């Protein structure tokens, strides 16, 4: 693994080689996710989301407003393995069963890759204790499979601009273009994800833990001609840091409701006030 120091610190983007075995496993699981999305709503709704930010299960979001989510997603984590085991034993639908089996096996495959990334970040940037914290956070890693519905016109925002609340995010799969990032220079640019590399971006906890050295990267998804016609599938992995305070959504609202790039120039003392200590 090799992380460009200049790129990650100055642009918020790390492009790292994508292990072939992991890529193939992700592609297979996304195929099964696509089949799962075509099941009747009642079948999918029988696996409702369970837990908090690193929970597990199915969600359908059809909110209103500019920053609202209009998509369906399924999350899976190591910490939710008992929930998955209990539920998949009762799933009679073969498509749903196969998707859940593969999704449950994917997180353990991703974990060593996440550990390697954290270790290299610590070594290359002198980020003391980062690898240990990521290692101790393994049970809260979770993969989110997302389906954005067809119909949004090309150029329309289908995932509102936001930063992620966790430590860092791995973009594992995109069936179509449309992922964009808001650079530290205040310009929107396309962020491509291809089969040979994984794109990793810093999130809110990482900005806090690094005292602003790594700024959470604001990003969004806009519809393309392809996604307007066929919808859009993606898979991302969120790595939450178990020892670092978390963004206080109850007090400060959803991150999608914050101004674009609000965190880029925010003084550290003010930024710190956005977080609540862990219980």
For residue range 167-186, what is the model confidence (pLDDT) as tens digits? 999 999 999 999 999 999 99
Q: Contact at 8 Å (CB) between 250 and 183?
A: no
Task: Give dist(CA 14, CA 4) in Å, integer.
Answer: 7
Query: Which CATH number do you get for residue 178?
Result: 2.60.120.330
Q: Please answer whether residues 87 and 100 qualify as being in contact, where contact means their C-beta atoms are separated by less than 8 angstroms.
A: yes
Looking at the domain assignment, is residue 6 inside a domain? no
Ramachandran angles phi, psi of 96, nearest 5°: -65, -40
The pLDDT of residue 52 is: 64
Residue 90 lies in a domain: yes
- Axis-axis angle for helices 20-37, 94-125 (nearest 10): 140
Structure confidence at residue 54 (pLDDT): 62
Instruction: Collect all residues with Cβ–Cβ distance below 8 Å to 251 and sequence separation of at least 6.
Output: 276
pLDDT by residue (tens digit) across 117-144?
Answer: 999 999 999 999 999 999 999 988 899 9
Write out residues in the chain with pLDDT < 50, as ranges: 67
Residue-wise pLDDT for 74-97, tens only, equals 999 876 667 777 776 667 788 988
Strand-by-strand arrangement of the 188-190 sheet: 157-162, 218-222, 179-182, 188-190
In a domain, 1, yes or no: no
The count of structural domains within the chain is: 1
Instruction: Record the tokens describing residue 51, joined without a space.
Output: 């837990």
pLDDT of residue 46: 85
* Inter-residue contact 133 to 199 (CB < 8 Å): no
pTM reported for the whole predicted model: 0.92
Specify if 169 maps to a domain.
yes
Q: C-alpha angle with apex 54: 246 to 218, nearest 5 degrees?
A: 55
Q: In this structure, is residue 192 part of a structural domain?
A: yes
Q: Identify the pLDDT of residue 4.
A: 62
Q: Is residue 187 part of a domain?
A: yes
In a domain, 178, yes or no: yes
Q: Which residues pair with 199 in a beta bridge?
A: 15, 171
Give the pLDDT score at 73: 95
The pLDDT score that the predictor gives to residue 227 is 94
**At what angle are helices 81-88 and 94-125 packed, to 10 degrees?**
170
Which pLDDT score is estimated for 89? 64
Give buried/exposed letters for 101-135 (b at 16+ CB in 10 A, else e).
ebbbebbebbbebbeebbbbbbeebebeebbebbe
User: Is 176 within a domain?
Assistant: yes
Which domain covers residue 249, as residue numbers? 15-276
């Amino acid at each position: 693994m090799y992380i460009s120091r200049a790129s990650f610190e100055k642009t918020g983007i790390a492009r790292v080689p994508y292990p072939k075995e992991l890529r193939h496993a992700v592609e297979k699981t996304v195929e099964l996710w696509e089949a799962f999305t075509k099941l009747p709503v009642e079948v999918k709704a029988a696996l409702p989301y369970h837990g908090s930010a690193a929970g597990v299960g199915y969600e359908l979001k059809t909110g209103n407003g500019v920053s609202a989510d209009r998509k369906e997603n399924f999350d899976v984590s190591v910490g939710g393995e008992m929930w998955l085991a209990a539920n998949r034993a009762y799933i009679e639908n073969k498509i749903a069963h196969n998707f859940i089996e593969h999704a449950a096996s994917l997180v353990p495959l991703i974990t060593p890759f996440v550990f390697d990334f954290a270790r290299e970040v610590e070594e290359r940037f002198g980020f003391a204790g980062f690898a240990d914290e990521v290692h101790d956070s393994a049970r809260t890693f979770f993969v989110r499979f997302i389906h954005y519905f067809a119909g949004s016109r090309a150029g329309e925002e289908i995932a509102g601009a936001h930063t992620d609340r966790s430590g860092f995010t791995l973009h594992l799969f995109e069936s179509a273009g449309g992922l964009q990032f808001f650079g530290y220079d205040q310009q929107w640019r396309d962020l491509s994800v291809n089969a040979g590399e994984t794109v990793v971006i810093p999130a809110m906890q990482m900005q806090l833990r690094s005292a602003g050295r790594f700024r959470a990267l604001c990003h969004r998804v806009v519809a393309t001609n392809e996604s307007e016609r066929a919808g859009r599938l993606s898979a991302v992995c969120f790595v939450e840091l178990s020892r670092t305070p978390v963004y206080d959504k109850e007090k400060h609202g959803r991150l999608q409701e914050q101004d674009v790039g609000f965190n880029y120039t925010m003084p550290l003392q003010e930024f710190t006030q956005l977080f609540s200590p862990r219980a």
